[in-house]
Amino acid sequence: MLDGEPLRRLRAVAMANSFMPVRREALAACATRFPADASQILQDALLDRHASIRDFARYHLKQQSGGFDPAAFYRTAIQIREGDRLRAAILGLAETGSADDAPRVLPFCSHARVRIREAAVRALGRLDAENSIDAILSMLADPSPRVSKQARRVLEEQMALPIHDWVWEVAQRVNHSAHGRLNALHVLASLPRWTRLPFLLRAASTADPEVAAAAQDYLQAWLATRSRGFRKPTPEQVREIQEGLEAAAGALEPAVRDSIREEVAHWLRF
């Protein structure tokens, strides 16, 4: 059985392993075998790149006496760490902090490293999405597809907020990156059935070929759900849909246009 210095050397190798279960077993073994160093070993693991390792370390630190505060640890760590450990600190604060921590994370949305910006927008979504919505929306237009996609995921979890028109602004701005416009359209395509249709019709008639093509695909998917919805459109939604149909008339295939009109007319009879 390994012990002492051989185990310490093995831990150093294991903790650099890319396979999370290997790192977790090494962490558990060393924290058990070296009780005097357990607290430091576990605190080092709080900045692991994998959420499961961070959670494992937090659990065992809470079992120790002294009332360890992981959120306080991460608040300090985001001020002094760099690289992957800064990313882990931001995500760790999202996992343990509160809405009051969102302003601490906000500056990292403009960090030079893509992975830091991606972690920041993810953290804002978890800590306080409602009050950070302007920053999250702006990240849809981030130069990095990875950051933009993370902003899209956060926004798709916040569709109860009145952000639809703001997202549409991103979708139609030609000065934004293609991935930003497409991710914005993806957010709109996640709206409830009648709410998303006017946006898809507008997008289908846009001069942007990538957005228009994606909108056509979303319209086909919308039509495929015809038998699944039992909520009729509101008068305001009907008006917006009819305006969208007129604007997109030349961009839609006749069969698609007629099917949408028939669907709306069907629900107006009730």
Can you give the pLDDT at residue 253? 92
Can you give the pLDDT at residue 3? 52
- pLDDT at residue 13 greater than cutoff 60: no
Element (H, E) at 169: helix 164-172
Weakest-pLDDT range from 9-13, 97-101, 106-110, 247-251: 9-13
Can you give the pLDDT at residue 14? 56
Place of tokens 């030349």: 250
Can you give the pLDDT at residue 2? 44
Q: What confidence tier does 171 reach under pLDDT thresholds 50, 70, 90?
A: very high
Q: pLDDT digit string (tens) for 23-58?
A: 777 777 777 766 667 788 889 889 999 999 999 889
DSSP state of 92: H
Among candidates 270, 188, 182, which has minimal Cα distance to 229? 270
Neighbouring CB atoms inside 10 A of 209's CB total 9
Residues 6+ apart with CB under 8 A from 14: 22, 23, 25, 26
Q: pLDDT digit string (tens) for 100-127?
A: 999 999 999 999 999 999 999 999 999 9
- pLDDT at residue 16 greater than cutoff 70: no
Distances (CA, A) of 210 to 46, 83, 143, 174, 230: 42, 35, 17, 11, 32
Strand spans (E) along the chain = none
Q: pLDDT digit string (tens) for 205-247?
A: 998 999 999 999 999 999 998 765 568 899 999 999 999 999 8
> From 1.25.10.10, 3.55.40.20, 3.40.50.150, 3.90.1300.10, which CATH number describes the 72-190 domain?
1.25.10.10
Question: Percent of the chain at pLDDT above 90?
Answer: 66
Burial class of residue 192, CB neighbours in 10 A (0-12, 13-18, 19+): exposed
Distances (CA, A) of 132 to 87, 123, 204: 19, 10, 30
Domain locations along the chain: 1-68, 72-190, 192-270
Question: Rounded to the nearest 10 degrees, how much is the dihedral formed by the CA atoms of 156, 160, 166, 168?
Answer: 60
